[in-house]
């Protein structure tokens, strides 16, 4: 499969080269025997979680970080936001080295992890927001302006004075986003922002994020296992597997490369003979059709010709032309791990 390497037009706000993270951890054997043995002789293991990845992200880009469980996505976000030191490689975000965690860097970014909360559980969200005001040294005017805007966009004004433990999961996620954005960060790192939310809440979160980036040019790097999030928000995706950057480009480029064929399904008012279509170049007749339905996989550039042929077979009742389902494509890619084309670019060269 080919891959597209995106070159953002905007000035780079994130640049990484040869970015690598190896975890070293203490391997304690199972049970009491393992615990006792580990007191006498410690065994250490290493795991290469992120393996020499390189990319640049321009201001205002919304980039999806995709990959199966354990691929290295969270580790990458943690390095970018300064929670983890890289083991090696170069990393610059907004002109800073994130792991130094300088206040003037932290003021310009935010990290939201769908599985973790940054709100105090036992008090209303407003208390946490006020803490953020102090932490980030926001003026009262700036704080009030940001709270007003975010509360309106997220429709959470009534929730700000309710104890956080009493709000629903979807409402809490909105409040988390509010807390993350109240200091007006330029870059937002999001790790599974819609995890566990129902379809309506997910759609609200996506619409909110799209509006934030439209209004403020916020750069977003988001991980999600929900391909609807990625389709709705991201102009570009990076696929990571086994810690390696496997693809960097548009989502449609990935879809086209993975499934160059369109799915066509025609339904007729009476039984038709579809056998002549099987002889056409770039057409595969799918199974599961009846005498009255014809299912085909058609190379994109042949779609027009084939539709014309289908109209000639008999009286059409319904005609459906679709790209393969993105969710399904990702499932296939991850099942066939390592088959996505590696982005060939100087930025992905190893520097270790």
Considering the complex, what minimum distance in angstroms separates the CB of residue 67 from ligand ATP?
A: 5
Question: What span, in angstroms and rounded, lies between the C-alpha atoms of 177 and 193?
Answer: 9
Nearest residue (CB) to ligand ATP, 57 versus 138: 57
Residue 325: φ, ψ to 5° = -65, 130
Considering the complex, what minimum distance in angstroms separates the CB of residue 63 from ligand ATP?
A: 15
70 forms part of the interface with ligand ATP (CB under 6 A) = yes
Considering the complex, what minimum distance in angstroms separates the CB of residue 338 from ligand ATP?
A: 15
Question: What span, in angstroms and rounded, lies between the C-alpha atoms of 136 and 130?
Answer: 10
73 forms part of the interface with ligand ATP (CB under 6 A) = yes
Q: Which listed range, 12-20, 68-76, 94-102, 248-256, lies at the site for ligand ATP (CB under 6 A)?
A: 68-76
Considering the complex, what minimum distance in angstroms separates the CB of residue 245 from ligand ATP?
A: 12
Q: Which listed range, 64-72, 123-131, 302-310, 312-320, lies at the site for ligand ATP (CB under 6 A)?
A: 64-72
69 forms part of the interface with ligand ATP (CB under 6 A) = yes
27 forms part of the interface with ligand ATP (CB under 6 A) = no
Question: What span, in angstroms and rounded, lies between the C-alpha atoms of 294 and 310?
Answer: 9
8 forms part of the interface with ligand ATP (CB under 6 A) = no
278 in Cβ contact with 293 (< 8 Å)? no
Considering the complex, what minimum distance in angstroms separates the CB of residue 72 from ligand ATP?
A: 5
47 forms part of the interface with ligand ATP (CB under 6 A) = yes
Considering the complex, what minimum distance in angstroms separates the CB of residue 107 from ligand ATP?
A: 25
331 forms part of the interface with ligand ATP (CB under 6 A) = no
Structure tokens at 344: 């060939």
64 forms part of the interface with ligand ATP (CB under 6 A) = no
Side-by-side strand order, sheet with 88-93: 44-58, 12-26, 88-93
Angle between the 169-181 and 140-154 helix axes, to the nearest 10 degrees? 150
Q: Any residues with CB less than 8 A from the CB of 128 and at least 6 apart, and which?
A: 118, 119, 120, 164, 179
Structure tokens at 188: 């937002």
Q: Which listed range, 63-71, 130-138, 296-304, 326-334, lies at the site for ligand ATP (CB under 6 A)?
A: 63-71
Q: Any residues with CB less than 8 A from the CB of 69 and at least 6 apart, and which?
A: none
How many residues of this chain bind ligand ATP (CB under 6 A)? 12
115 forms part of the interface with ligand ATP (CB under 6 A) = no
Nearest residue (CB) to ligand ATP, 22 versus 303: 22
CA of residue 58 relative to chain centroid, distance = 16
Tell which one of 16, 62, 71, 197 touches ligand ATP (CB under 6 A).
Answer: 71
Considering the complex, what minimum distance in angstroms separates the CB of residue 330 from ligand ATP?
A: 12
Considering the complex, what minimum distance in angstroms separates the CB of residue 116 from ligand ATP?
A: 12
172 in Cβ contact with 164 (< 8 Å)? yes
Question: What span, in angstroms and rounded, lies between the C-alpha atoms of 28 and 153?
Answer: 48
132 forms part of the interface with ligand ATP (CB under 6 A) = no
| Residue 77 exposed, middle or buried by CB count within 10 Å (0-12, 13-18, 19+) | buried
Question: What span, in angstroms and rounded, lies between the C-alpha atoms of 241 and 247?
Answer: 9
181 forms part of the interface with ligand ATP (CB under 6 A) = no
Residues that bind ligand ATP (CB under 6 A): 23, 25, 47, 49, 67, 69-75
């Amino acid at each position: 499969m080919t891959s597209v390497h995106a070159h953002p037009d905007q000035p780079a706000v994130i640049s990484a080269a040869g970015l690598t993270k190896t975890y070293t951890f203490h391997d304690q054997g199972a049970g009491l025997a393992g615990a006792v043995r580990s007191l006498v002789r410690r065994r250490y293991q290493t795991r290469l979680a992120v393996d020499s990845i390189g990319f640049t992200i321009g201001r205002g880009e919304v980039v999806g970080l995709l990959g199966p469980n354990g691929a290295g996505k969270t580790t990458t976000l943690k390095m970018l936001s300064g929670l983890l030191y890289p083991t090696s490689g170069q990393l610059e975000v907004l002109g800073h080295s994130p792991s130094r965690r300088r206040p003037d860097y932290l003021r310009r970014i935010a990290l939201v992890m769908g599985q973790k909360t940054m709100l105090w559980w036992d008090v209303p969200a407003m208390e946490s927001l006020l803490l953020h005001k102090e932490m980030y040294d926001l003026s009262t005017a700036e704080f009030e302006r940001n709270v007003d805007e975010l509360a309106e966009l997220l429709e959470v004004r009534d929730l700000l004075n309710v104890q956080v433990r009493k709000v629903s999961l979807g409402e809490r996620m909105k409040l988390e986003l509010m807390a993350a954005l109240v200091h007006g960060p330029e870059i937002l790192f999001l790790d599974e922002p819609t995890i566990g939310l129902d379809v309506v809440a997910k759609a609200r979160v996506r619409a909110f994020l799209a509006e934030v980036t439209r209004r403020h040019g916020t750069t977003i790097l988001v991980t999600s296992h929900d391909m609807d999030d990625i389709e709705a928000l991201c102009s570009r995706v990076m696929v990571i597997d086994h810690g390696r950057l496997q693809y960097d480009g548009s989502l449609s480029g990935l879809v086209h490369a993975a499934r160059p064929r369109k799915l066509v399904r025609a339904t007729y008012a009476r039984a038709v003979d579809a056998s002549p279509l099987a002889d056409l170049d770039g057409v595969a007749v799918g199974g599961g059709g009846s005498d009255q339905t014809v299912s085909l996989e058609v190379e994109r550039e042949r779609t027009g010709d084939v539709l014309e042929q289908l109209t000639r077979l008999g009286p059409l009742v319904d005609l459906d032309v679709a790209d393969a389902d993105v969710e399904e494509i990702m499932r296939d890619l991850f099942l066939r791990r390592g088959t996505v084309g590696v982005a060939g670019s100087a930025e992905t060269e190893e520097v270790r």
